[in-house]
Amino acid sequence: MDYFKEHYITLILTAVYVAGCLYIGWHFKKKAKRGVEGYFVAKREIPGWVISLAFFSTSASTNTYIGQAGISFQYGLSWAWMGLIWTFFCVISWQLLGPRMRYQTARLKSFTIPDYFHLRYKSSLAKSIRVLSAFIILFATIWYMVGIAKGCAHVLTSVLDVPYEYGAFAIIFITCVYTIWGGMYSVLWTDAVQGIIMFGVAILMLMVPFIYLGGVDNVLESISYTEHLSKSGKPIGNGLVVFGKLVSFLYILGIGLSIGMKQISEPKNLIRFYSINNAKSMRFAMIWTPIFLGISLVCVMGLGALVHGMTSVEEANYLINNTDEVIGFMLNKFDNKLVSGICVAGLFAAGMSSLASVIIIIGTAFVNDIWHVLKPMPVNKIIPRTKWFMGIYCLMVYVLTLYPMAGIVELTAFAGAVFAASFFPAIFGGLYFKWGTDLGALASMVVGMLVNIIWRFAFRFKYPELEDIHEIIPAFMFSLITYVLVSLLSKKRRPDQKHLANVFD
Amino acid sequence: MDFLTLFPYVGIILLVVINTILVMKRDIKVDRNEDDNPAM
């Protein structure tokens, strides 16, 4: 009884939120059954505001609201540059890729990112690119899913005392159920609801230190000079508000690029463009998505630095080495059940929106882009098999979440770098360059992956002066150059003029 | 707070304003028979 008395607000808010997500999934169950185009891309009939919020909510995750927000406790307000870099790539993604991707994928009847490669470059080699890119998706996303599920399960454990294994089970399988029911319809509509919650929670979280300390002046005064120690044991002094004093700009740039560039290359983001219903909606989403993301990141990215004003020296000494606990600490110190409850619902929303987007991507990648390509199946089998595979994959993710390997956050960031370097040139070239070829696309993918691995394991951590240069920078450059060079050297492999006219004109 | 620490906060606002102007001025087409021209 005491348990319910203590946690009733959080429990009610969480229950309402989960029930809402399941209702959306159930509501779209019938609609999603009506053909592959409905289940995979929601028949390209979703309004712009839904797509905009869905893009925002899938871009930010629990890691943004806990990990990224907390790490500014260590690095100071300079960490807010991450938000700027991230928003910049959101703008690039919508400006460069959004309208063209929607146009070309509708003309090609493409339902997934891997099948876009196949249909756009149109050759037997392009078929191999489809299968290869589907394998990259399967491999790279599993670590991401484990990382998100782990983060959400820890939130449940710390806030509601739910055992880790039950928390992980709940978060993975609730998301899996509504995704299986409604396909892309339920993913997009639940993502939109989750986006609204996340936007509100970002603003609410920023207000906490200001209310606790009694206003803007008091917050600025408390962080402008502090006796707290940095991670290296030296006094922070004015480091929280002085640019680059606690972290190098090159490091911020490397991490910022590796996360920000996901928006121009990750299938879970790019697939959003497929489902938008018309040009008016596209215009709305192009304007509003960077606003939703930018404002949320402004609120969240420097939050940890502000929490210094709420901590004693002893507490700061602990938190500086455990930055993932900074946001939980802040909420506990504020001690308001309603605020904590809303924030917990927001953290679930952040985690579940990212999980659902990935679940449908892996289901379609395996069934439509590997199985169906290697051994064609009747069209009416595609949706049921996709559902089965999503369920099995979620089970695998659950097992891995129970025994998470060390360094999963790093692995997730590495997977993001692999996506950016291997997918972007083939997508961008496919959208803009009529002279782009299948060989150019394949070579850029392989080079992107290899440079990622070689730079990380043979250079970056062997030479201290290279440590701050994230593998995404050289991998992206080499991959892009490879696409251009190989495409120009393999002119004969260009698709015929009729096909190109259908795609571009 | 120095200029470069403050810059991302101002920069995000500038970025979304510039983006909005660019989008408003642009012709957007997502289908062969459709064109959403704000001037029309």
pLDDT 10s digits, A87-146? 999 999 999 999 999 999 999 999 999 999 999 999 889 999 999 999 989 888 888 888
Q: What is the pLDDT of residue A325?
A: 83
Contacts A253 to B, Cβ<8 Å: none
As a whole number of angstroms, the distance between CA A21 and CA A226 comes to 44
More confident: A142 or A189: A189
Which of A177, A142, A153, A114 is CA-nearest to residue A427?
Answer: A114
Strand A235-237, strand B28-31: pairing:
unpaired
Average pLDDT over residues A422-428: 92
* Distance between B9 CA and the closest CA of chain A, angstroms: 6
Helix (H) or strand (E) holding A166, with range, is: helix A164-213
As a whole number of angstroms, the distance between CA A60 and CA A195 comes to 9
Q: A63 with A71: CB under 8 angstroms?
A: no
The two tokens of residue A283 are 């215009």
**AA identity, residue A12:** I
Average pLDDT over residues B15-39: 82
As a whole number of angstroms, the distance between CA A42 and CA A186 comes to 9
Confidence (pTM): 0.92
Which of B2, B4, B5 is most worth mutating to test chain A (most A CB atoms within 10 A of its CB)? Answer: B5
Q: What is the pLDDT of residues A350-392, one digit of tens each?
A: 888 889 999 999 999 999 999 999 999 999 999 999 999 999 9
Contacts B24 to A, Cβ<8 Å: 283, 287
For residues A35-57, one letter each, b for 16 or more C-beta atoms within 10 angstroms of the residue's C-beta and e for the rest, the string is: ebebbbbbbbebbbbbbbbbbbb
CA A116 to chain centre: 21
As a whole number of angstroms, the distance between CA A54 and CA A37 comes to 19
Mapping DSSP to helix (H, G, I), strand (E, B) and coil, where does residue A300 land? helix
Average pLDDT over residues B10-31: 94
As a whole number of angstroms, the distance between CA A441 and CA A436 comes to 8
Q: What is the pLDDT of residue A465?
A: 79
Inter-chain touch B9–A298, beta carbons under 8 Å = yes
As a whole number of angstroms, the distance between CA B35 and CA A280 comes to 9
Q: Which residues on adjacent β-strands are paired with residue A235?
A: A229
> B30 touching A, CB under 8 A?
yes
ipTM above threshold 0.90 = no
Contacts A294 to B, Cβ<8 Å: 12-13, 15-16
